[in-house]
Amino acid sequence: MTEPMRVASVVQGCLTKMAVVPGAEGGPARYTLRAGEQRLALNECLGRPLTLAWSGAIACTHCGRATKKSFAQGHCYPCFKRLAQCDTCIVKPETCHFFAGTCREPEWAERHCFQPHIVYLANASGLKVGITRGTQVPTRWLDQGAVQALPILAVATRQQSGLVEMLFKEEVSDRTNWRAMLKGDTAVFDMPAERDRLLARLEGGLADLRERFGADAIRVLDEAPVTLDYPVLEYPTKVVSHNLDKTPEVSGTLLGLKGQYLILDSGVINLRKYTGYEVRVTA
């Protein structure tokens, strides 16, 4: 007989964003906290006291050096200034400057930016448009706390995905209201109907982009909408956010997991914000 998995009660190390996968058969997503090389299965901690204590140390997630401040989610300042993955064009891909010969790391860009991307609609706190590499579906939606998602277009490169997203931003937001997402009262949308409405309104702009990049560069997808669920015992009625920089130790009963947030009875904390922070987590 197989022994049940034993859940570690204490883990210590530098944080990276929580690993999250969809639940089996439509069940709630499964979360794993990652502290250095140590792991903590968080779903099994629901309803239990949880404490995060920051040691005061921060390590760059790229080079490992100590840094007094984290830049671009876990980088030291030299890496922040040097790495292509920290450039503003990662956040605003329509500003890609690869062809101008000014990319910080052309070889990295060829591996990461010149591959197929998906333009999608999601619903985390209301309808929004977003982009991601095809390999990041559905992780990207889970990281955002989306309860609904629908891929609508496949594009050839990251720059093209940004240009398409700019079109859609004329009609729909590209932002998630994290406080509303954490309250768990998001209205449900008819996602295929929203897709068809937006594609019709933006037909002219999409035609211009196809003329610029080629007819096959931007393809309409015909996929079914995805519904996502999260392990939450109780949503907060008032969202209060913890800040490790101001309060290095955070404690409370773990009531839920959504996006990259821990929902505690004492407040919420976005673990991705503290990438590279050395913490001790006790469940």
- Residue-level pLDDT at 26: 82
Residue 131: pLDDT over 90: yes
| Confidence class for position 74, pLDDT limits 50, 70, 90 | very high
Residue 8: pLDDT over 80: no
Query: Taking a C-beta distance cutoff of 8 angstroms, is the pair 211, 164 a contact?
Result: no
Nearest Cα to Cα of residue 12 among 68, 51, 43: 51
Q: Average pLDDT for residues 259-274, to the nearest whole number? A: 98
The per-residue pLDDT for range 83-98, each reduced to its tens digit, is 999 999 999 999 999 9
The per-residue pLDDT for range 183-242, each reduced to its tens digit, is 999 999 999 999 999 999 999 999 999 999 999 999 999 999 999 999 999 999 999 999
- Residue-level pLDDT at 3: 46
- Residue-level pLDDT at 140: 97
| Confidence class for position 4, pLDDT limits 50, 70, 90 | very low
- Tell me the DSSP string of 151-192: EEEEESSHHHHHHHHHHHTTTSB----HHHHHHT-PPP--HH
Residue 78: pLDDT over 50: yes
| Confidence class for position 2, pLDDT limits 50, 70, 90 | very low
Task: Tell whether the torsion through CA atoms of 176, 178, 180 and 186 is positive or negative.
Answer: positive
Q: What is the mean pLDDT of the chain?
A: 95
Residue 92 per-residue DSSP state = S
Q: Average pLDDT for residues 46-53, to the nearest whole number? A: 97
Q: Average pLDDT for residues 158-187, to the nearest whole number? A: 96
- Residue-level pLDDT at 25: 86
| Confidence class for position 53, pLDDT limits 50, 70, 90 | very high
Q: Average pLDDT for residues 115-127, to the nearest whole number? A: 97
- Residue-level pLDDT at 184: 93
| Confidence class for position 9, pLDDT limits 50, 70, 90 | confident
- Residue-level pLDDT at 222: 95
- Residue-level pLDDT at 5: 46
- Residue-level pLDDT at 88: 95
* Proportion of the chain above pLDDT 90, given as a percent: 94
Give buried/exposed letters for 9-32 (b at 16+ CB in 10 A, else e): eebebbbbbbebebeeeeebbbbe
Query: Taking a C-beta distance cutoff of 8 angstroms, is the pair 230, 29 a contact?
Result: yes
Tokens for 262, please give them.
């821990």
